[in-house]
């Protein structure tokens, strides 16, 4: 992971991570933070599912955890208002979506404008939504991968920050391709969060900026970089 002399913040950036499942990206981020490799403080891990395996993982690392089920609310808007209030109670400067499977409402996104990141398992704008590995295999793609982007109201359509490309191998299955892509997710998500924590990465007027320049295209890495 890139380390830039003189850009180390005096205080760690407070973040909240949202998950829905086992939280492998959450774990990778939390471990790097605990090891001093990532200048962030994970204030909380929050899930929309009380039985999400990632909550137990986070609790074992002494990270505060919360769950908030949509079943307890009349509609999406009221749920997202409650979720925004819960997130805000931890006073984060960045919201990290790590396998959070709910589509966030415009109201939630506005509450944390310019400071929500997401990781998506495809080379966006290809394969927005679900089943990305299956769709890449069915299309006969020779390259697949993952993308980190800022979150806007457009599903999986916010400004791109960084992507990692993975070769699709002969005989790949969804699970084998997913496993290699996930390794790269852990790598590039931490990189993007590091840039944000060091004030190198920003969202300005619906465009990602890195080191004072607009990103007309995402930073590209390959699995061998």
Active site residues: 120
Burial class (CB in 10 A: 0-12, 13-18, 19+), 102: middle
Flag whether 25 is marked binding: yes
- 11 labelled binding-site residue: no
- Residue 225 scores a pLDDT above 80: no
Mean pLDDT of the residues in the chain: 94
Q: Quick one: pLDDT at residue 10?
A: 55
Ligand-binding site membership of 76 (annotated): yes
Is it true that the peptide bond before 37 is cis, omega within 30 degrees of 0?
no
Q: Which domains does the chain have, with CATH numbers?
A: 13-122+147-160+185-214 (3.40.50.170)
H-assigned helices in 40-75 = 53-60
Which element (helix H / strand E) includes 119?
Answer: strand 116-120
Distance between the two ends of the chain, CA-based, in angstroms?
A: 11
Contact 46, 18 (CB under 8 A): yes
What span, in angstroms and rounded, lies between the C-alpha atoms of 215 and 202? 10
Q: Which stretches within 4-128 are classed as H helix?
A: 24-34, 53-60, 76-88, 106-111
User: Given phi > 0 = left and psi -120 to 50 = alpha, else beta, which region is 127?
Assistant: left
The answer to whether 102 is annotated as binding is yes
Give 167-202 pLDDT, tens digit per residue: 999 999 999 999 999 999 999 999 999 999 999 999
Q: Which residues contact 150 (CB under 8 A, 6 or more apart)?
A: 114, 116, 117, 118, 158, 159, 161, 203, 208
pLDDT confidence bin for 6, thresholds 50/70/90: very low
Residue tagged 């208002």 (tokens): 81
Residue 118 assigned to a binding site: yes
The candidate with the shortest Cα–Cα distance to 66, out of 91, 49, 84, is: 49
Q: Express each pLDDT in 10-62 by its tens digit.
A: 589 999 999 999 999 999 999 999 999 999 999 999 999 999 999 999 999 99
């Amino acid at each position: 992971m890139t380390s830039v002399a003189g850009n180390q913040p005096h205080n760690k950036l407070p973040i909240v991570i949202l998950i829905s499942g086992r939280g492998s990206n959450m774990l990778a981020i939390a471990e790097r933070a605990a090891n001093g490799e990532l200048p962030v403080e994970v204030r909380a891990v929050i899930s929309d599912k009380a039985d999400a395996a990632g909550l137990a993982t986070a609790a074992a690392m002494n990270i505060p955890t919360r769950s908030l089920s949509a079943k307890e609310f009349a509609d999406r808007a009221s749920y997202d208002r409650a979720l925004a209030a819960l997130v805000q109670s931890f006073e984060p400067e960045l919201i990290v979506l790590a396998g959070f499977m709910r589509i966030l409402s415009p109201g939630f996104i506005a509450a944390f404008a310019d400071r929500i990141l997401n990781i998506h398992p495809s080379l966006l704008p290809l394969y927005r939504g679900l089943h990305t590995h299956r769709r890449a295999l069915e299309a006969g793609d020779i390259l697949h991968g993952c993308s980190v982007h800022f979150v806007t109201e457009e599903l999986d359509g916010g400004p791109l920050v960084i992507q990692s490309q993975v070769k699709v191998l002969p005989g790949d299955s969804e699970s084998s391709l997913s496993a290699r892509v996930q390794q790269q997710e852990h790598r590039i998500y931490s990189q993007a969060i590091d840039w944000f924590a060091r004030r190198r990465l920003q969202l300005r007027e619906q465009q990602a900026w890195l080191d004072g320049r607009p990103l007309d295209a995402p930073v590209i890495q390959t699995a061998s970089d």
